[in-house]
Structure 1
């Protein structure tokens, strides 16, 4: 609720730096209330890049925003979700209408403009969540707007750990797990460590989007301490966003 009021009252009159600071502050406060501690390595972070991250939980967005506040690419349906959709719209979210090539050109332009202004754009190229023990196929088309604009890709690895050093499955929000069940599982732990690792920038040598997606996936697997398995043979160049 505090976040909603701040977005309503403060965002319209805030300078960009203040907006980003508010976004980071809300995110840190929410994670602290949930007992989630952030362990972030931002060695490779840079301005005006596209964050490409693996997706495990609804709290992933807050982990990212706590240290790398960004505009997120979300499906069009999110805009209609109660409160969350309104907050997303107030937070520079780019809404993607799936299957529309005409709309894809507009989205490409919006993303390019955000990156050109030195801001960050974040995508989850798996398109859905996992339990954190593996990665799904990366949809390379989601990376195309950044590559077309000549902006780098920053792979970001997210993983969750128990204080004992074991991987935590509590934050998983996949399959039939509901938002309430996921939140209860997180609150049942006294402390969870959200580990965020940036890896070297990609897409600066004119590589095509499939090559960049494969490289990003491999980098995230390694940074998440997951075994590197062969990528699916599915055509990663296919997708809703065209070059």
Structure 2
């Protein structure tokens, strides 16, 4: 019930406040709303590593629907999402009002539009977040990254910053409760989370990785993948992407 009320509060904030406040205030409101949501479900954040740098493409592993709010609680971030999310009731509307960039896969023309939109956000000193695995896991491993999702930052000459996300019990042991993978529904996942009195979301940020030295996006994806695997301490991770031919074209995602 508290989660539902909080979502309603978010809708009212967007309708009643967003049109009348400066962009910086909108970011502050988004960050506060995300922190409050995490508090409602009993999620505590532990941040480590480097500070999140403005104007970076944030590259994170993907475990849960909570990942977005964990990152927003640290640094208000615009996310890249599949276009289908825009059609989801309430959630899709809220996402659109909070600068989500909706990606229509397989369209090179749309890729140019998306790249320009992301570049504009990065140029304005904003953070843009992406989950290059393309799906969620249970948190015990990291899938190979889709390197094409890094292209907008490379074209705009903005750095990439790896964020390693993991969820834990209060005694430090890994928790699978927030995992939103397989056939689990959103309601089941939420029930698993609130069944615990307290959980911890750990976020470890690597130093920003430059994109201006001519390194191919596959190599950048490999470095980011290895950094996240190392910071999570995965016992076994899926292999990082293999190098691809050096010919370049517009990414079709």
**Shorter-normalised TM range:** over 0.9
- Of 59-68 and 10-19, the range deviating more from structure 2: 10-19
1:29 aligns with 2:36: yes
1:27 match: secondary structure: helix
Instruction: Let me know the Cα RMSD of the aligned residues.
Output: 2.0
Q: Tell whether the 8 Å contact from 1:98 to 1:240 is kept in structure 2 after alignment.
A: no
Q: Tell whether the 8 Å contact from 1:141 to 1:241 is kept in structure 2 after alignment.
A: yes
Deviation at 1:164, TM superposition (A): 1.2
Q: Tell whether the 8 Å contact from 1:39 to 1:196 is kept in structure 2 after alignment.
A: yes
Deviation at 1:12, TM superposition (A): 1.7
Aligned match for 1:231, one of 212, 233, 240: 240
Paired residue total: 243
- Of 37-46 and 158-167, the range deviating more from structure 2: 37-46
1:119-198 to structure 2, matched below 5 A, reads 119-198=126-205
Deviation at 1:240, TM superposition (A): 8.4
2:181 match: secondary structure: coil
1:56 match: secondary structure: coil
Gaps of 5+ in 2: 1-7
1:218 corresponds in structure 2 to: 226
CA 113–232 in structure 1, closer or farther in 2 if over 3 Å, else same:
closer
Gaps of 5+ in 1: none
- Of 136-145 and 225-234, the range deviating more from structure 2: 225-234
Deviation at 1:99, TM superposition (A): 0.4
Partners of 2:58 and 2:166 lie apart in 1 by: 15
CA 148–4 in structure 1, closer or farther in 2 if over 3 Å, else same:
same
Q: Deviations over 1:76-106 (max 9, x none)?
A: 1111100000001100010101100000001
1:93 aligns with 2:103: no
Per the normalisation by structure 1, the TM-score is 0.95
Partners of 1:235 and 1:133 lie apart in 2 by: 27
Q: Tell whether the 8 Å contact from 1:49 to 1:154 is kept in structure 2 after alignment.
A: yes
Deviation at 1:117, TM superposition (A): 0.3
- Of 228-237 and 99-108, the range deviating more from structure 2: 228-237
